[in-house]
Amino acid sequence: MPRWSAFCARADDRRHPPGPATLIATQQEVLVERIAFVGLGTMGAAMAANLRRAGFEITVWNRTPGRAAELVAQGASEAATPADAARVADVVVTCVSDTPDVDAVLFGPDGVADGLAAGGLVIDCSTISPGATAGFAARLRERGVGFVDAPVSGGSEGAKNATLTIFVGGEPADVERAHPVLAAMGKTITHFGPAGSGQAVKAVNQVVIAGIYLGVAEGMILAMKAGLDPEAVAGALGGGVAKSWIL
């Protein structure tokens, strides 16, 4: 079950000058979700580290052994299977390679679905099929588990610096619950609609990026055919409207 922690906040000293009568404290109860993070690749390891830095209790699992050592040193726990990680969590975040991998870690032997109790939430940050995502959400809903698709953009630097752009799909209540977790990993978080919507927007993102790559490649070929230094051309273009991360 989620854990509750208490904190005290001092009244504003500008409104209440210092003194015994003015040190008024208010106590609030704050819900702290326990997180399982499944998938510690280049993106996932950095995202899990940011969740740990944000104060979340983290249990991690990765298919390839040896990826969790740095996170364990930061206070995370390591589980033997996705199911074991999910058993001690309220929210499971997955970040793996492709649709079959998400299917396997969620519904395969010793998968998340075997360990996560009803009332739990899965947040999938992988980049996978929108249709399959909607199907995963429906299967988990039958078990009383919520689902949010939250693919990310921003690369390894965005993952490391917690500045990722996150495209979100899911039921409003699930998205609201997921928001503190997502906010610890990213900067621009947008909810587009039901499960699968986030993945659909990520597909749009990929099409746009592919077009930019193609344009940059064609431009550099043109520069070289004209006998120009492509590095100098790229540097000059980077100071104008053509500037882009890919350039």
Please give the positions annotated as active site.
Answer: 202
Q: Are 59 and 76 in contact (CB under 8 A)?
A: yes
Angle between helices 230-237 and 197-225 (to 10 degrees): 130
Neighbouring residues of 130: CB distance < 8 A, sequence distance ≥ 6? 149, 196, 197, 199, 200, 203
What's the longest Cα–Cα distance across the chain? 79
Whole-number Å distance between alpha carbons of 148 and 143: 15
CA atoms within 13 A of residue 107's CA, in its CB half-sphere: 15
The total number of residues written for the chain in this structure: 247
Residue type, 18: P
Name the token pair of 119: 């009332």
Give the dihedral sign, CA 187/166/179/105. negative
Whole-number Å distance between alpha carbons of 177 and 121: 9
Which contiguous run of DSSP H or E holds residue 23?
Answer: none
